[in-house]
């Protein structure tokens, strides 16, 4: 069963060498109760520790069931202690912060036995030692005798081959000692029990074999066994503590130190609180900036007009700022004028087709500004009057296929009537106070102080086509004076106000949009289609003078050509717009739209390129860069506290290692590997890190309420501080990682502790 051959063990302290065992030869039977007697320092406890795998022999061999242990690795010894040995200690060595049944289950847990099986087995052995009803108590709730019974139950739970008892009755009264010895005697009927004791009376009464030691030597053996060198391929099941077990052990330990743990977690959470608040504010301000930028896209869309500012020239003009004022140098520098900064865009049909080819999914709205006049009439007090359409009407954004644009949906509410994209339908835009410019209302014939919505919705206008609006006077044309007649003309297009719209409360674009009548792009498309074939347009194309004003066009000059083109555009002969406003759906869409516009310019001469105005770009770049820079700087400062927290966790973990030294010894005695001990303390730092991160995030969340209140009072911005859930998860992971890193060194120190020394600590 168990054989010791020439076992020697020495301890060196400085230059002094103590020979604890001096070549011990001893063999044990499979079932017997062996008592080892001897005075203090005789080597009996050292022998027990070597048999139990807690200590290593210097030379010789320990043979288990015919298998030599000379080539045992650390993991083999751990497995040996777990599966083959059951320890019963004088001081019980129970883990105080877990229950009785959990203490009994610990060895089986390390063996990887399922929870159901180990619970059943633990209850069986507790019943055997008479403590079944105390299974869920903590060890400190039991008497000395009861605690020793728990230790015996733990020793038996994993069904080991050998029970090692080190002064099992040393801390008990005589009555309890007898009970414990009778229990051990019962165990010895089917197991090898080796007991170290100073009490020869107990040994003589209960043991069936007595071995005596003195000065590290075997001096007597009452029932020696004949030498048996039979070889055996004895296999021992490896131990393995799960992460869940490590977490449970650490959690139970932490529960006994709630105050200290909470203070530690709170202290280490300060860095998390700081960074979480910074990220909350940064995230909130970025959301506000994103909202502002979205509105900015609506307020300042991509604008393509006949003339645009030359950005390259503007950059060169800024270089003048570097010139020395009141210079004494005899040099003259050319100064850029405003004319130099203007680029003339030639918007062609090809360019308009390029605009129309843009993916509709990218466009939130598009508006075409044309020079075509809308011949508009209305009835006021039963009299037909002419209206200046350019002063009271403006085109509203639509989609590429003339449907309701997202920019309208996002920024305006219909507060009365309805809104369609039909060419005949108009809407009246009012400001946030339901106001409309007096000049617009006067043109509509509405002069009352307060006007009911129903008196506006339904009002009609007539668009008169050129052939009915103008009449010929020989070589020239003039406007028809009989307005009543042309108002009733069957060719006239009837427009109607179908609804009233108002900007949404949170839309800056709407606030800056003013008020007035708005029409759909399809209206001008229809008018140009009809008027382009009118008599006055055909006549104007043939003449080198303005057939309305008699002004001559000098077509040999650029100015003359432009004047004729403008006149034709006014009359409806030109379909190309004078300006285009593009409203991308978002900033990503804007980038795609700009790619299309830039691709059009590739390979073209500077004078043929179409330049656009992208006012949102500068705001986006500046605001994003400033916000990112501020965030990085503030996080860097807060990160210092995280480093300090990590160091503090290392110190706290080291203190915990010192406090739990005996527990480390107990776990090692039960077969826990070094990596299992490391895992226990890593689990403890994991729990502290999790608690720290959670506390930090909760406190940071609570602090956002007063922070938002202060910001709202100062800036009128509501609910700015908002922590992105992704940032919260990342901070929680960082908190756990830093605490685990901080506890790595102390956990390694714990794993390297000598189990024998650890068991002796108090």
Task: Give residue limits of the domains in the chain.
Answer: 2-239, 254-295+620-760, 302-309+335-369+584-612, 371-523
What's 532's DSSP letter?
T
Rounded mean pLDDT of 77-96? Answer: 87
> Rounded to 5 degrees, what angle do the CA atoms 315, 320, 324 make?
155
| Spatial contact of 164 and 34, defined as CB atoms under 8 Å apart | no
Q: How many residues does the chain have?
A: 762
What's 458's DSSP letter?
T
| Spatial contact of 235 and 666, defined as CB atoms under 8 Å apart | no
- How many CB atoms neighbour CB 647 within 10 A? 12
Distance CA 95, CA 109 (A): 14
Q: What is the pLDDT of residues 209-244, one digit of tens each?
A: 999 999 999 999 999 887 655 555 556 667 767 778
Residue 344 CB partners (closer than 8 Å, separation 6+): 306, 307, 607
What pLDDT score does 276 carry?
A: 82
Which residue is listed with tokens 């055997």?
128
Distance CA 737, CA 354 (A): 54
| Spatial contact of 162 and 192, defined as CB atoms under 8 Å apart | yes
Q: What is the pLDDT of residues 136-169, one digit of tens each?
A: 999 999 998 999 899 999 998 888 889 999 888 8
Q: Is 190 exposed, middle or buried (0-12, 13-18, 19+ CB in 10 A)?
A: exposed
Nearest Cα residue to 760 out of 631, 641, 662, 672: 662
Instruction: Say whether pLDDT at 320 is over 70.
Output: no
Q: What is the pLDDT of residues 553-567, one digit of tens each?
A: 988 888 888 889 889
Q: Is 170 exposed, middle or buried (0-12, 13-18, 19+ CB in 10 A)?
A: middle
What pLDDT score does 61 carry?
A: 92
| Spatial contact of 248 and 242, defined as CB atoms under 8 Å apart | no
464 or 709: which leads in pLDDT: 464
Which token pair is 389?
């359409």
- Please, which residues bridge with residue 85 across strands? 162
3-state secondary structure 86-99: EEECCCCCCCCCCC
Instruction: Say whether pLDDT at 618 is over 60.
Output: no
Is residue 671 very low, low, confident or very high in pLDDT (cuts 50, 70, 90)? Answer: confident
Residue 441 CB partners (closer than 8 Å, separation 6+): 447, 451
Which token pair is 468?
């009915």
State the virtual CA torsion across 588, 589, 591, 597 in degrees, nearest 10: 180
Give one DSSP letter per residue of 481-505, joined into a string.
Answer: S-HHHHHT-TTPEEEEEEEEEEE-T
Instruction: Say whether pLDDT at 536 is over 90.
Output: yes
Distance CA 151, CA 104 (A): 8
Rounded mean pLDDT of 307-314? Answer: 58
CA end-to-end span of the chain, whole Å?
34
Instruction: Determine how β-strand 162-166 pairs with β-strand 16-28.
Output: unpaired
Residue 319 CB partners (closer than 8 Å, separation 6+): none
Q: Return the SS3 of 601.
A: helix
Instruction: Say whether pLDDT at 337 is over 90.
Output: no
- For domain 2-239, the CATH architecture is 3-Layer(aba) Sandwich (3.40)
- Please, which residues bridge with residue 35 across strands? 195, 210
- Please, which residues bridge with residue 193 across strands? 33, 163
Give me the percent of the chain exceeding a pLDDT of 70: 90
Nearest Cα residue to 272 out of 660, 733, 605, 655: 733
Q: Return the SS3 of 366.
A: strand
Q: What is the pLDDT of residues 25-66, one digit of tens each?
A: 999 988 899 999 998 888 888 999 999 988 999 999 999 888
What pLDDT score does 559 carry?
A: 87
Q: Assign residue 345 a region: left if phi > 0, alpha if psi is -120 to 50, beta otherwise?
A: beta
Rounded mean pLDDT of 695-724? Answer: 83
| Spatial contact of 96 and 131, defined as CB atoms under 8 Å apart | no
| Mean per-residue pLDDT of the chain | 84
| Spatial contact of 444 and 378, defined as CB atoms under 8 Å apart | yes
Distance CA 113, CA 25 (A): 36
3-state helix, strand, coil in the chain (%, to 5): 50, 20, 30
Q: What is the pLDDT of residues 449-460, one digit of tens each?
A: 889 999 899 999
**Cα 431 from chain centroid (whole Å):** 41
Instruction: Determine how β-strand 493-503 pairs with β-strand 383-387.
Output: unpaired
| Spatial contact of 63 and 69, defined as CB atoms under 8 Å apart | yes
Distance CA 110, CA 672 (A): 7
Rounded mean pLDDT of 196-200? Answer: 88
Distance CA 682, CA 674 (A): 12
Instruction: Say whether pLDDT at 497 is over 60.
Output: yes
| Spatial contact of 727 and 283, defined as CB atoms under 8 Å apart | yes
Distance CA 582, CA 589 (A): 11
What pLDDT score does 365 carry?
A: 86
Dihedral angle sign, alpha carbons of residues 93, 99, 105, 106: negative
| Spatial contact of 270 and 143, defined as CB atoms under 8 Å apart | no
Q: What is the pLDDT of residues 520-535, one digit of tens each?
A: 988 999 999 999 999 9
Give me the percent of the chain exceeding a pLDDT of 90: 26
Instruction: Say whether pLDDT at 314 is over 60.
Output: no
Distance CA 116, CA 134 (A): 19
Distance CA 247, CA 306 (A): 72
Distance CA 515, CA 410 (A): 17
């Amino acid at each position: 069963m168990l054989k010791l051959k020439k076992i020697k063990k020495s301890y060196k302290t400085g230059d002094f060498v103590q020979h604890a065992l001096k070549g011990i030869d001893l063999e044990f039977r499979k079932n017997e109760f062996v008592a080892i007697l001897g005075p203090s320092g005789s080597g009996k406890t050292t022998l027990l520790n070597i048999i139990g795998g807690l200590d290593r022999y210097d030379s010789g061999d320990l043979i288990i069931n015919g298998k030599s242990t000379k080539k045992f690795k650390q993991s083999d010894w751990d497995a040996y202690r777990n599966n083959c040995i059951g320890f019963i200690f004088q001081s019980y060595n129970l883990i105080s912060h877990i229950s009785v049944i959990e203490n009994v289950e610990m060895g089986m847990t390390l063996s990887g036995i399922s929870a159901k099986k180990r619970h059943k087995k633990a209850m069986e052995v507790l019943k055997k030692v008479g403590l079944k009803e105390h299974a869920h108590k903590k060890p400190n709730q039991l008497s000395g005798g009861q605690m020793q019974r728990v230790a015996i139950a733990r020793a038996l739970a994993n069904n080991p081959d050998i029970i090692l008892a080190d002064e099992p009755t040393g801390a008990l009264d005589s009555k309890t000692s007898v009970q414990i010895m009778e229990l051990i005697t019962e165990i010895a009927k089917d197991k090898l029990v080796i007991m170290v004791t100073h009490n020869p009376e107990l040994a003589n009464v209960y043991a069936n074999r007595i071995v005596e030691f003195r000065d590290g030597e075997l001096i007597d053996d009452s029932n020696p066994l004949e030498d048996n060198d039979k070889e055996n391929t004895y296999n021992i099941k490896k131990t393995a503590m799960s992460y869940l077990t490590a977490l449970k052990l650490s959690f139970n330990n932490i529960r006994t130190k709630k105050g200290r743990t909470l203070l530690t977690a709170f202290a280490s959470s300060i860095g998390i609180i700081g960074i979480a608040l910074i990220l909350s504010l940064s995230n909130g301000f970025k959301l506000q900036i994103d909202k502002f930028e979205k509105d900015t896209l609506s307020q300042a869309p991509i604008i393509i007009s006949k003339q645009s500012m030359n950005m390259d020239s503007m950059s060169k003009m800024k270089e003048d700022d570097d010139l020395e004022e009141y210079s004494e140098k005899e040099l003259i520098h050319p100064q850029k004028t405003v004319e130099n900064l203007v680029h003339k865009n030639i918007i062609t049909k090809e360019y308009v087709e390029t605009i129309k080819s843009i993916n509709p999914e990218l466009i939130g709205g598009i508006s075409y500004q044309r020079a075509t006049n809308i011949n508009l009439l209305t009835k006021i007090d039963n009299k037909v009057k002419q209206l200046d359409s350019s002063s009271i009407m403006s085109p509203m954004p639509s989609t590429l296929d003339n449907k309701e644009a997202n920019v309208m949906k996002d920024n305006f509410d219909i507060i009365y009537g309805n809104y369609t994209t039909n060419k005949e339908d108009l809407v009246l835009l009012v400001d946030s106070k339901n106001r409309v410019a007096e000049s617009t209302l006067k043109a509509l014939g509405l002069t009352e102080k307060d006007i009911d919505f129903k008196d506006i919705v339904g009002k009609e206008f007539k668009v008169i086509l050129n052939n009915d609006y103008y009449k010929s006077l020989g070589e020239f044309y003039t406007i028809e004076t009989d307005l009543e007649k042309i108002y009733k003309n069957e060719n006239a297009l009837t427009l109607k106000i179908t609804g009233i719209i108002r900007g949404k409360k949170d839309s800056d674009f709407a606030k800056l949009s003013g008020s007035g009548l708005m029409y759909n792009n399809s209206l001008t498309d229809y008018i140009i289609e009809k008027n382009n074939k009118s008599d006055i347009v055909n006549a104007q194309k043939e003449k080198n003078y303005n057939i309305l004003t008699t002004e001559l066009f000098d077509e040999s000059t650029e100015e003359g050509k432009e004047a004729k083109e403008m006149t034709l555009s006014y009359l409806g002969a030109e379909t190309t717009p004078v300006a285009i406003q593009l409203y991308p759906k978002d900033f990503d869409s804007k980038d795609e739209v700009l790619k299309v516009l830039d691709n059009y310019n590739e390979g073209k001469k500077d004078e043929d390129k179409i330049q656009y105005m992208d006012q949102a770009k500068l705001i986006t770049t500046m605001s994003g860069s400033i916000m990112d820079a501020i965030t990085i700087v503030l996080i860097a400062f807060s990160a210092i506290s995280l480093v300090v927290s990590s160091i503090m966790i290392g110190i706290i973990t080291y203190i915990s290692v010192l406090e739990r030294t005996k527990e480390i010894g107990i776990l090692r005695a039960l077969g826990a590997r070094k990596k299992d001990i490391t895992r226990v303390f890593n689990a403890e730092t994991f729990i502290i890190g999790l608690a720290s991160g959670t506390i930090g995030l909760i406190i940071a969340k609570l602090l956002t309420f007063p922070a938002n209140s202060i910001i709202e009072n100062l800036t009128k911005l509501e609910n700015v501080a908002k922590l992105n859930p992704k940032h919260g998860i990342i901070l929680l992971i960082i908190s756990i990682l830093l605490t685990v890193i901080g506890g790595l060194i102390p956990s390694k120190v714990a794993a390297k502790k000598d189990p024998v020394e650890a068991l002796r600590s108090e």
